[in-house]
Amino acid sequence: MLPPLAELLGTARIVALPLITRFRGIDTREALLLRGPEGWTEFAPFAEYDDAESVAWLRAAIDFGWTPTPALLRDSIPVNATVPAIDAELVADVLARFPGCRTAKVKVAAPGQTLADDVARVRAVRRVLGPEGRIRVDANGLWNLDEAEHALNALGEFDLEYVEQPCASIEELAEIRRRSADYLGIPVAADESVRRAEDPLLVATTGSADILVIKAAPLGGIHVALDLVAQAGLPVVVSSALDTSVGIAMGAYLAAAIPGLEFDCGLGTASLLAADVTHDPLLPVDGRIPVRRVVPDADLLDRYEASAERRDWWLARLTRCHALLAAEPAETPETPLAD
């Protein structure tokens, strides 16, 4: 059931939160928070996403705020540290913000940087984590095939857990997975090929990845994501999209409902925020975050409220995406054929 637009607008709060370091090309993370009958929820597609892509994020926000969550299989989630594309000498300071985390996801292939920068960054992470720590790298699809193969050869000495989205297309993922299987032995995880694809299952049905990285918001919510996991039949990593703690809670509820969760999840990213919407954020403790709803604090909503111009921009975006949801054909249950 789609809530009326007036109900959404009536509780909407827009915040602009500073980051501790530049990430995904931004220094501030904006988000629109809503309060539904089930609790607070978040609508925060990145600014460059168009309405057609953003509508799934609104569907997810409504799912979390207006629909009961599935049964939970665990009450806390093991999480990884996230290392942006920073200079190697800054790595130790970033990892210190993720206490107890024994897995680190390291951003690589950033525009304006070189493979030597990536190697130095990953080497610094290995130095901090020690030989027993797990390292995964994320290229966000920015390598071509030859660049990916060359980079994985250079990074192979650091005993990678997996490489996330080394190339952009599903065909390239399949090929780099084949090359890796031949002599590198580094599993391939798909992220953008799942959350930004018209058919999120295609990467699984074509054998293009060993692992799926899923995010609740861009897939349309917890229930849709759980159905995808069940159909894909591959191990998954639940990740965030640089959310506030309200949005991270959505990811935590998704991860808590997945049977046989094998990998540490990318849900520790509140540690990348210099401020949050709650005085009790979902930060890692002993490498885990709890599964719980988050209630924003009024003073923080006021302190980090976005400018009037940005508020108008977000409310207009919410209105347009709500109209797209309202225009979708209603699902009707199948009826049995008459005898």
Across 154-174, average pLDDT: 96
Residue 49 pLDDT = 95
Residues 121, 126, 215, 288: which is the catalytic one? 215
Residue 180 pLDDT = 85
Residue 184 pLDDT = 84
Instruction: Examine the pLDDT at 118 and tell me if it is beyond 80.
Output: yes
Instruction: Examine the pLDDT at 108 and tell me if it is beyond 80.
Output: yes
Superfamily (CATH H level) for 76-292:
Enolase-like C-terminal domain (3.20.20.120)
Residue 195 pLDDT = 85
What is the Cα–Cα distance from 17 to 334, expressed in whole angstroms? Answer: 45
Domain boundaries, the chain: 5-69+299-327, 76-292
Residue 23 pLDDT = 79
**Residue 339: pLDDT band with limits 50, 70, 90:** very low
Residue 279 pLDDT = 98
**Residue 336: pLDDT band with limits 50, 70, 90:** very low
Across 203-220, average pLDDT: 96
Q: pLDDT by residue (tens digit) across 173-184?
A: 999 999 887 778
Q: What is the dihedral of CA 163, 168, 174, 178, to 10 degrees?
A: -50
What is the Cα–Cα distance from 129 to 137, expressed in whole angstroms? Answer: 14
The Cα-based distances of 289 to 74, 106, 138, 214, 333 in angstroms read 11, 20, 22, 18, 38
Residue 331 pLDDT = 61
Instruction: Examine the pLDDT at 337 and tell me if it is beyond 50.
Output: no
Joined together, the tokens standing for residue 105 give: 């996801």
198 secondary structure, DSSP code: S
**Residue 31: pLDDT band with limits 50, 70, 90:** very high
Residue 335 pLDDT = 39
Binding residues: 138, 164, 191
282 secondary structure, DSSP code: -
Residues 13, 35, 107, 121: which is the catalytic one? 107
Q: Output 33 or 181, whichever has higher pLDDT.
A: 33
Number of other CB atoms surrounding residue 76 within 10 Å: 16
Residue 107 pLDDT = 97
Q: pLDDT by residue (tens digit) across 225-277?
A: 999 999 999 999 999 999 999 999 999 999 999 999 999 999 999 999 999 99
Across 13-26, average pLDDT: 90
Q: Output 162 or 195, whichever has higher pLDDT.
A: 162
Angle at 336 between CA 334 and CA 339, to 5 degrees: 160
Nearest to 311 by CA among 302, 300, 323: 302
Report strand pairing: 236-238 vs 211-214.
parallel
**Residue 334: pLDDT band with limits 50, 70, 90:** very low
Q: Which residues contact 321 (CB under 8 A, 6 or more apart)?
A: 43, 51, 54, 55, 57, 58
Nearest to 101 by CA among 84, 125, 119: 125
- Decide if 105 is catalytic: no
Nearest to 15 by CA among 332, 302, 330, 236: 302
Q: pLDDT by residue (tens digit) across 35-76?
A: 999 999 999 999 999 999 999 999 999 999 999 999 999 999
Binding residues for Mg(2+): 138, 164, 191
Fold of 5-69+299-327: Enolase-like; domain 1 (3.30.390)
**Residue 102: pLDDT band with limits 50, 70, 90:** very high
Across the chain, mean pLDDT equals 95
